[in-house]
Chains A and B, each alone.
Chain A
Amino acid sequence: MDSLPAVVLAAGEGKRLRPLTHHRPKPMLPAANKPILAYVFDGLIEAGVSDITVVVGYGRSRVQDHFGPTYRNVPLTYVVQEKQLGSGHALLSVEDRFDGPFLVVYGDQILDSRIIGDVIEATGEGAVTLGVLDHNRVEHYGGVIMDNGRVVDLVERPTDERKYRLNAGVYGLNPRIFEAIRNAEPRDGEHSLIDALSWLVDTEAEVRGTLTEGLWVDATYPWDLLEVTRDLIQAGVVGESREGRIDDTASVHDTAVIRDPVVIGADAEVGPGAVLGPYTCLGENVTVGSGAVVEGSVLDSDTRVEPNATLIECVTGQGVHIGAATTVPGGPGDVRIGNRVFERERLGALFAARAHVGGGATFVPGAMVGPDATVRAGARVEGTIAGETEVR
């Protein structure tokens, strides 16, 4: 095919990224200052797609407000999935829009246009086509077993020793998929697109894999945003020069020190003597007070860092307030999510949206502060703090 209409699945929350997904879905989390979804749209448009349907649901107004009716002159049609019952269920909400081949991608994985272009090219009238990649960490994602170009097995987070390729999450489909979604057995009440594809494989329909290459990045847990940012900066997608990475409307004091690479968004203000980077992103309208140090961190929009705070390997949500002389010495640390402990992750601390930290607080590596939580001045914080609570 030369081009295909595309469906972008952006309705799911991305629960494993909580508490960053408070009020917004994973596709709207920032990766080097742009929502993940923007990279997906960019990839589609650069691969020649000019018809994009976006399935939205959880936190949908955030998607609609950010992108509006068109993105880079390509019209966006929004379709609402009221209840998020899986990626297959999401796709059913656009069933009436297609009677020929179409492309489906996830709105929460960053991928470049080469992968998309290769799948579009390989998609024919009859068959279903999956983009697959060679990847050294397939066990964390979706695995595909191929035989002579045909897909013979699809396994999520495979643990066996077979030679898996990575499912890049780019599918050239045709309306038969809707039948497959209906026929595949739901798991925990959810209809997954992977199960529907497996059903097609099992019914001996022709499901082909096309081996492709290009940038492919996914964040599974909140601290992955630090690595995703690093990957994107290293891949050169954020701007080659210092000037290209700092927005024209940002103001950085002459005496502030920038240790490249550093990305600074619109309207951000950096005070005298602040030290930024390397691998630091300041979102839109972030304030970094004088003498503060922000290293290897991702600060989302409207975050305010008061003077002389030290933040190493931090992730913040929107509108976080970090009081003066707060200290986050950086990872590695053990992160607790529910009953699970992730050991020695590179996370200094995570602050969810509108968390408020008083001056002089210190954070043991791996600390997670929930949305709207308050940490009083001088407190020492370890472990996970629930949203809307107060630490003295």
Chain B
Amino acid sequence: MCGIIGYAGDGRDREVLDVLLTGLSGLEYRGYDSAGIALSDEAISVYKSEGELENLESLLDGQEIPSVPVGIGHTRWSTHGPPSDRNAHPHADCEKQVAVVHNGIIENYEPLREELAADGHTFYSETDTEVVPHLIEHYLDEGLDPESAFRTAVSRLEGSYALAAVFEGSETIHATRQDSPLVLGLSEGGTYLASDVPAFIEYTDRVIYLEDGQFAALTDDEIVVTDAEGTVLEPPVERVEWDAEDAGKSGYDHYMLKEINEQPRSLRQCLRGRVDELEGSVTIEELAGLPTPKRVQFVACGTSYHAALYGELTLRERGVQAQTFMASEYDRSSVPIDDGTLVIGVTQSGETADTLRALRQAGRAGATTVAVTNVVGSSAARECDYTMYIRAGPEIGVAATKTFASQQTALTLLADAIEDGERRELLGALRDLPDHVQSILDSSPAKEIAAEYEDAGAYFFIGRGYNYPVALEGALKMKEITYKHAEGFAAGELKHGPLALVTGETPIFAVVTGDDERATKTIGNVKEVEARSAPVIAVTDGQSDVERYADHVLSIPETHGRVGPILANVQLQLVSYWLANRLGRSIDKPRNLAKSVTVE
């Protein structure tokens, strides 16, 4: 998982170095265990450093940096070889004729490396990527020009890649992609390439989404896109709507808190134009013509998986056969798929490799595929039969917050589009949702509760029905950003094992909404842990009497049973945030994690 950036400009308007560093900071969410850049003019200069972007910046500080026409940059999240200066990109060939940045995995790098090493090439890093510049060098040495050498080298690669290369003495960047994201940008002041739009959104909103197998040659004044055979193509130039302002922290210490606080707005965007309460209708334009499925399968990872579990329940409640799979397990289990199956991939970035793989498999087996994603033009959006956007806006914090709320909301609407059900109260509750979230943000005691329990060794989260995915997500958030041990359980499962771990030192977050049989049973489970003198924090809408058994209460407004879990999760996001804040954790960039995981 990495991010790449490239810029071809003649230095007229802005320095290549500045564009690359700005771009890398916009891509840091994609990985941050090392970063590097290559500047190319008559010769290629490479600068790289282990650690966050700041390390690279301080390395550059005080050095004489040449003003050059083109450059490429990379921010890395390790897959092959530990994070180190040596393994950081860009990588160069033996003679420094070419420098390459790469996002993805070269699956056949071992035989290539052996072949090249036998040929006399010396490798400096342990990365798969380094075979690419040496392979290009090999073809340059055979007398090919840079573009042909690049194309010929790429034709020998297997795996997934977004690649960009600069050559000494050349003012062109050559790039291509296969199963890894790459977007191109056009402006008066030069041309850009990046793994994701935020890298260059400050300079332009005119973009071209490169397709798998296409090549691009970027120069100061144009981008030439060609297919594998070299035929010049005219890809559409699109305007992206995300503006640069979405990339700042707007006065907050962390993106995560900014994004938690943005939820009322992102939910409004998710619902906009889709819900008409007075007419009692739900309209999802992107899904017009979606066939009625015989069964539905969700595939997703991490937080998106929890949203998918929620989606499964909303469909099952309406009598639709639905199942959720962890995307990484999907291909190994023999899942029945036929042309009556609808497979819904839930992926924030639209680039999650496990989910893409599962969706591709399902599509090949005849299923209709739907992507539920946040990123316009992402691989999932382009490859699936249908795409529903959750419209949460860019999320920079690695721990997903607002996108989870928007995924749940979008899946509720999607369930309605698949199968009619009771609607009037639900639509009213959805329209009240942004304000209900705001009311939690206005008055949550999460900060005080976090202070009270910051020393605990483990945190358990329990819930039943719709609140079970909330418990799982609450625990995941806690793990991700506090590095504390946390587990989410179906409330009824506690007594079948995990209860053995519960002591007076194990705070239990119990999510209890409504006043039905599920609530009553969960309260029974709360009593079980209370008897072991565990502190109980109830997340509740106050309809049941769970408050009587709780040490603390995180209140949520009373609403529709399907909407309550979205609200309950907001309280748990805040608890995790404030606990991590007290512990001084790297909240926006927790150790070992990356925002969108484009490796399997």
Q: State the A residues within 8 Å of B (CB).
A: 23, 56, 60-61, 63-65, 67-71, 73, 75-76, 78, 80, 249, 251, 253, 266-267, 269, 271-272, 284-285, 287, 289-290, 301-302, 304, 318-319, 354
Contact = CB atoms under 8 A, between A and B. Distances in A.
A287 B277 contact: yes
B439 interface: yes
A249 B273 CA distance: 7
Contacts of A80: 251
B439 A289 contact: no
B246 interface: yes
Given A70-B245, A80-B251, A301-B435, A65 B265 contact: yes
Contacts of B265: 65
A23 B248 contact: no
B481 interface: no
Contact of A69 (B248, B273, B428, B443): B248
Contacts of A60: 251
Residue among A67, A78, A269, A302 having the largest count of chain B Cβ atoms under 10 Å: A302
Given A61-B261, A65-B261, A319-B432, A269 B272 contact: no
17 contacts: A23-B443, A61-B441, A64-B252, A65-B265, A69-B249, A69-B251, A70-B245, A73-B245, A251-B278, A267-B431, A271-B278, A272-B278, A287-B278, A302-B432, A304-B428, A319-B432, A319-B439
B434 A302 contact: yes
Interface string B251-275: 1100000100110110010011100
A80 B277 CA distance: 40
Given A65-B261, A76-B250, A271-B278, A319 B244 contact: no
Contact of B245 (A68, A78, A267): A68
Given A23-B442, A64-B251, A68-B248, A267 B268 contact: yes
A254 to B, nearest CB: 12
A319 B435 CA distance: 6
B248 A70 contact: yes
B26 to A, nearest CB: 13
B438 interface: yes
B278 A67 contact: no
B418 interface: no
B157 interface: no
Interface of B: 244-252, 258, 261-262, 264-265, 268, 271-273, 276-278, 428, 431-432, 434-436, 438-439, 441-443
**Chain A to chain B: the 4 pairs with minimum beta-carbon distance, closest first:** A69-B248, A78-B251, A302-B435, A319-B435
A269 B439 contact: no
Contact of B278 (A73, A266, A267, A289): A289
Contacts of A68: 245-246, 248, 250
A56 B278 CA distance: 39
Contacts of A304: 428, 431-432
A71 B244 CA distance: 11
A374 B398 CA distance: 41
Contact of A319 (B249, B251, B438, B443): B438
Residue among B247, B431, B438 having the largest count of chain A Cβ atoms under 10 Å: B438
A319 B277 CA distance: 16
A288 to B, nearest CB: 9
A336 B360 CA distance: 67
Contacts of A285: 268, 431, 434-435
Given A71-B245, A251-B278, A354-B435, 20 more contacts: A23-B443, A61-B252, A61-B261, A61-B441, A64-B251, A64-B252, A64-B261, A80-B251, A249-B272, A249-B273, A251-B276, A267-B271, A267-B431, A269-B277, A269-B431, A285-B268, A287-B277, A302-B431, A302-B435, A319-B432
Contacts of B443: 23
B438 A266 contact: no
B268 A266 contact: yes
Given A61-B261, A302-B434, A354 B246 contact: no
Nearest to B245: A70
A67 B261 CA distance: 12
A271 B438 CA distance: 25
Nearest to B439: A354
Contacts of A64: 250-252, 258, 261
Contacts of B252: 61, 64
B435 A266 contact: no
Nearest to B246: A68
Contacts of B273: 249
A86 B20 CA distance: 44
A290 B250 contact: no
Nearest to A61: B261
A44 B51 CA distance: 41
Contacts of A290: 278
B250 A78 contact: yes
B205 to A, nearest CB: 12
A234 to B, nearest CB: 30
Nearest to B262: A65
A284 B268 contact: yes
A287 B429 CA distance: 12
B276 A269 contact: yes
Contacts of B271: 267
Contacts of B262: 65
Contacts of A318: 435, 438
A71 B243 CA distance: 11
B272 A70 contact: no
A113 B256 CA distance: 36
Nearest to B257: A61
B581 to A, nearest CB: 15
